[in-house]
């Protein structure tokens, strides 16, 4: 879907907070927008939040599950403070919708 929207995509996955922070800091130099699903780190990671706050382009948080149907502590995501938008509860479709939103947000 990224190519059909005129976007190039770099996909990264890690379960390690420091690795994610390193990639986000690298994105400061190379990315126009971010789509992130930090899973359980969404509710606890100030370092990821800080890295996102340094990013100047659109940031879409995509949660596969509906966080408001889960445990109460998941109702607040640190990442939402840095997000341009949040998509939750639509499974893998959420990533496609996030890419569509990014394409729209990056239009001149």
pTM of the model: 0.92
**According to the model, what pLDDT value does residue 67 have?**
80
Report the C-alpha gap between 3 and 7 in whole angstroms: 5
Residue 36: pLDDT band (50, 70, 90) is: very high
Please determine, for residue 74, whether its predicted confidence score (pLDDT) is greater than 80: no
Residue 70 is predicted with a pLDDT of 80
Is the predicted pLDDT of residue 75 greater than 80, yes or no? no
How far is the C-alpha of 97 from the C-alpha of 87, rounded, in Å?
Answer: 8
| Tokens (6 digits) for 63 | 């949660």
């Amino acid at each position: 879907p990224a190519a059909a929207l005129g976007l190039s995509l770099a996909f990264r996955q890690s379960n390690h907070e420091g690795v994610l922070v390193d990639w986000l800091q690298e994105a400061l130099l190379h990315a126009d927008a971010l789509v992130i699903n930090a899973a359980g780190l969404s509710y606890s990671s100030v370092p990821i939040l800080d890295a996102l706050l340094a990013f100047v382009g659109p940031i879409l948080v995509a949660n596969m599950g509906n966080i408001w149907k889960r445990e109460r502590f998941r109702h607040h995501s640190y990442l939402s403070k840095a997000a341009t938008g949040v998509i939750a509860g639509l499974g893998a479709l959420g990533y496609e919708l996030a890419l569509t939103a990014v394409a729209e947000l990056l239009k001149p």
